[in-house]
Structure 1
Amino acid sequence: MPIEKLTYNPNYPSVKDLKKRAKARMPKFAFDYLEGGCNEELNLSRSETDYHDVLLQPSYLKKFNGIDMSTTLFGHRYDAPFGISPIGLQGLMWPNAPEILAKAAFKHNVPYILSTVSTSSIERIAEVSEGQAWFQLYHPTENTLRDDILRRLEAVQCPVLVVLVDVPSFGLRYREIKSGLSMPPKMNISNIFQAAIRPTWGIETLRHGIPSFATLKPYMEKGLDMTQLGKFMNKTFTGRVDTDKIKAIRDKWKGPMVLKGITTEEDIKASIAVGADGIIVSNHGGRQIDAGESTIVSLRKLMATPTYQEKLTMMIDGGMRSGPDIGRALATGADFTFMGRPFMYGVGALGKKGGDHTISMFKAQLKQVMEQLSCEQIADFPETLIR
């Protein structure tokens, strides 16, 4: 399909520009929560820089009929090969961020994934996205809670369920420990001061209310203080996701099911065995294991076995910061890509216009890359990979 004229704020033509602006508008504790990884943040850094080693071959003299960046996932034709990753506590980082991003994703016909621990509810995001938003499940300790969340997803006709598998324990994130945003979270004097010197963030927070785990609200006792909230979260989501738990979800969930956090051949074989429809190769944004490898390196290893792509939709999350990075991931073999931080930078920088701006920016960047490479469609990208 033809690409419409792409427009976005020319003052912020890159993720780097959005990040700089977002840092100036968000309280330090909120920006650190968004920006941080675990331990020394080495894997966080690798997740971005390893993309630079993936090179693509331009082609200029062949006949070229223009581009079509649309692609089909699970029966739905999306307008671009990228979507918005799930992020917890989005409304803390920028007020009303989940709704801003879900609305922008719907407008541009790309997927938005709501996290279990985000700050808008399943029902509200289904409403603003007209039922198009995906959902990422943090597997609860209690099966009754799992089943009720699945019931709610079915009631709003959620199109795709994403099951998170890479949180057998919570990563040690030093920035969060220092700022008080680890569990149990707390607002200390430093955080209150940081909020006070970011008046736009404060005014918007007053408008939209103090952020909370909206999807989980029906399962919480009223009036929990921060310590009690921390205990609730640790009790509710402590436990490893294994194949038995995935099989139980597969038996109940009739729609497409995706496993997020897969990085090894062992786990991808298990994903196929339990009936997953797709995987998202992900290292949780470098927030879980610092000694791990970047997702683009993991993807390259998995793509060495072509039968995996025949059995699963292969997607990737993390580290992409530009249209060329999206192209690198697609050339490496990904069927689709997801990004988290860049969209939160966009909302932090530009508020309610941030989602629309960031999607338009990535479309423009990817369009230029496809024209340089003479890729008429997304399926052409693997032919451009310099091995």
Structure 2
Amino acid sequence: MSQKFEYNTRYPSVEDLKIKARKRIPRFAFDYLTGGANEELNLARNENDFDNILLKPQYLLASDEIDLSVELFGRRYSAPFGVSPIGLQGLMWPNAPEILAKAAAENDIPYILSTVSTSSIERIAEVSDGKAWFQLYHPTENKLRDDIIKRLQVVECPVLVVLVDVPAFGLRYREIKSGLSMPPKMSVSNILQTFACPTWGIETLRHGIPSFATLKPYMEKGLDLAQLGQFMNKTFTGKVDVEKIKAIRDLWKGPLVLKGIATDEDMQASIALGVDGVIVSNHGGRQLDASESSINSLIRLASNPEYKKNIKIMLDGGIRSGVDLARAHAVGSEFNFMGRPFMYGVGALGAAGGKHTINMFKTHLYQVMKQLSLSKIADFPQRLQSIL
């Protein structure tokens, strides 16, 4: 018997949501969402390299009832995927962090709030019933880091994710041209684009101009755009290294995850530091255009049994369907995160977009498991045919 997940059948794919969202989001904000570093070659690799993973069905095999759920850090989630952290979410669609955090909590999947998103730690903890994870951009000053961690402890955040792959902000040509680099500026062109997207404009007026809500307590009041850019550059200049992770590990007693791991050297260092998990990622192709795709990094790292014994290996980047989720699990991912697909969902469907996108992916994945005669997520490696 097939399981039914309710979603808007006019938008059965990520591409359908993207096409609709492009019409409703001003171009400068949509370019920020979809763009990558430099010539955007790695952005394309992230998606295209999934095509090299082939799965094998076993049609004559009897199969049990399908279970999409997985256990992660002592909690069972309804599906093996969650919502990636994205900066400036409220710019791309007003109130997006709250929409997605609430939908994720109600549907039992994790949502990760970014330090540079547009809702605060406390507000997202409230709307998610304390279930939301948090991604830390490591501040230049340890005092600020320590205060953010204290706030996370007060709201009993379940998992802390530390971003490690932004030693410098990526060179993104689309953002430079649109004025969304640091310091940001609002050009005449950008203002005109907002008039072409009236629903976005009305919702922005209703929810307020987006700001870095988590960072507000540390900012001077009344900063203009240039001063905001200077604050961000000053506050988050510098890279994450082993010593900084050691300090966080001492402060944070809950599950600790590093996001942006892509090499054996960094994986070995993560294990030595006592980290609980890594999210293999290249920042959505937004940092280093000459690096390999996230899925190819994961294939290499997850093939090492010593790593799998010592740490949870998860994936972020390039997933655009339930088939991609199946491929990721077949090559060793234990959990997956997606950012752009969920933002396309809220851009296309507003407040309904979070639940829609969750159920759309569940429908995709359920169908693939039926096709492969699989009942559990952990069994996907048995259906890996080849990697071209």
Q: Same fold per TM (> 0.5)?
A: yes
Aligned pairs for 1:203-282 (under 5 A) are: 203-282=202-281
1:103 partnered with 2:109: no
Distance of 1:184 and 1:374 partners within structure 2? 53
Structure 1 segment 142-157 matched on structure 2, within 5 A: 142-157=141-156
Deviation at residue 5 of structure 1 after TM alignment: 2.6
Alpha-carbon separation, structure 1, partners of 2:373 and 2:159:
32
Structure 1 residues 4 and 219, CA gap change in structure 2 (3 angstroms): farther
Question: What's the TM-score, normalizing by structure 1?
Answer: 0.99
Aligned residue number for residue 71 of structure 2? 72
1:66–1:371: 8 Å Cα contact kept in structure 2?
no
Query: Which residue of 1 is the match for residue 43 of structure 2?
Result: 44
Helix, strand or coil for the counterpart of 1:386? strand
Assess if the C-alpha contact under 8 Å between 1:272 and 1:312 holds in 2: yes
State the one-letter code of the partner of 1:347.
V
Counterpart residue number, 2:27: 28
Deviations 1:252-291 (A, max 9, x none): 0000000000000000000001110000000000000000
Give the aligned partner of residue 58 of structure 1: 57
Check whether the contact 2:70–2:78 (CA below 8 A) recurs between aligned residues.
yes
Matched, 1:132 2:163: no
Partner of 1:340: 339
State the shift of 1:374 in Å.
Answer: 1.1
SS of 2:344's equivalent?
helix
Per-residue deviation, 1:375: 1.2
Note if contact 2:302-2:313 (Cα within 8 Å) is conserved in structure 1: no
1:380 — aligned with what? 379
Separation (CA, whole Å) in 1 of partners of 2:194 and 2:36 = 22
Partner of 2:360: 361
Q: Which amino acid aligns with 2:64?
A: N
Paired-residue identity, %: 71
Q: Distance in 1 between matches of 2:181 and 2:374?
A: 45
Give distance in 2, aligned partners of 1:371 and 1:117: 39
C-alpha distance in structure 1 between counterparts of 2:352 and 2:182, whole Å: 31
Paired with 1:139 and 1:261, the residues of 2 have a C-alpha distance of: 13
Residues 42, 289 of structure 2: 8 Å contact kept = yes
Q: Cα distance, 1:304 vs. partner?
A: 2.5
Residues 143-172 of structure 1: CA deviation (Å, up to 9, x unaligned): 000000000000000000000000000000
Paired position in structure 2 for 1:191? 190
- Structure 2: how far apart are the matches of 1:186 and 1:356? 33
- Contact (CA 8 Å) 1:59, 1:374: kept in 2 or not? yes
Over the aligned positions, Cα root-mean-square deviation in angstroms equals 0.9
CA displacement, residues 201-220 of structure 1 (integer Å, 9 cap, x when unaligned): 00000000000000000000
**1: distance between equivalents of 2:143 and 2:43?**
35
Residue 311 of structure 1 corresponds to which residue in structure 2? 310
1:3 deviates by 8.3
- TM-superposition CA deviations, 1:321-340 (whole Å, max 9, x none): 00000000011101000000
Normalising by structure 2, we get a TM-score of 0.99
Secondary structure of the structure 2 residue equivalent to 1:370: helix
Inter-partner Cα distance in structure 1 for 2:244 and 2:263: 19
CA-CA distance at 1:351 after TM superposition = 0.3
Partner Cα separation in structure 1 for residue 306 and residue 274 of structure 2: 15
CA contact (8 A) 1:26 1:348 kept: yes
Where structure 1 has 5 or more consecutive residues not aligned to the other structure, the ranges are none
Conserved 8 A contact 1:111-1:132:
yes
What residue in structure 1 maps to residue 163 of structure 2?
A: 164
Instruction: Tell me which residue corresponds to 1:202.
Output: 201
Amino acid of the residue matched to residue 288 of structure 1?
Q
What CA distance in whole angstroms lies between the structure 2 residues aligned with 1:357 and 1:38? 29
Separation in 1 of the partners of 2:320 and 2:196?
A: 28
In structure 2, stretches of 5+ residues that fail to align are: none
Q: CA-to-partner distance for each residue in 1:101-126, whole Å, 9 max, x for gaps?
A: 00110111000000000000000000
In structure 2, the partner of 1:322 is 321
Q: Does 1:285 align with 2:305?
A: no
For the 8 Å contact 1:78–1:109, the answer to whether it is kept is yes
- Aligned partners of 1:111, 1:202: CA distance in 2, in Å? 29
**Alignment pair present for 1:10 and 2:17:** no
Question: Matched residues in 1 for 2:153 and 2:113: separation?
Answer: 15
Deviation at 1:96, TM superposition (A): 0.1
Q: Structure 2 CA distance, aligned partners of 1:38 and 1:215?
A: 26
Q: Aligned AA for 2:325?
A: I
2:284/2:318 contact within 8 Å kept: yes
Measure the CA separation in 2 of the matches of 1:305 and 1:206.
51
Q: Confirm or deny: 8 A CA contact 2:303 2:332 kept in the other structure.
A: no
Letter of the 1:273 counterpart:
A
1:9-51 Cα offsets, whole Å, 9 max, x none, are: 0110000000000000000000000000010000000000000
- Between the aligned partners of 1:303 and 1:235, the Cα distance in structure 2 is 36
Name the amino acid aligned to 2:173: Y
Distance of 2:306 and 2:18 partners within structure 1: 39
Does the CA contact (< 8 Å) of 1:3 and 1:67 recur in 2? no
More divergent stretch after superposition (294-303 vs 114-123):
294-303
Deviation at 1:4, TM superposition (A): 5.3
Partners in 1 of 2:385 and 2:246 — Cα distance?
39
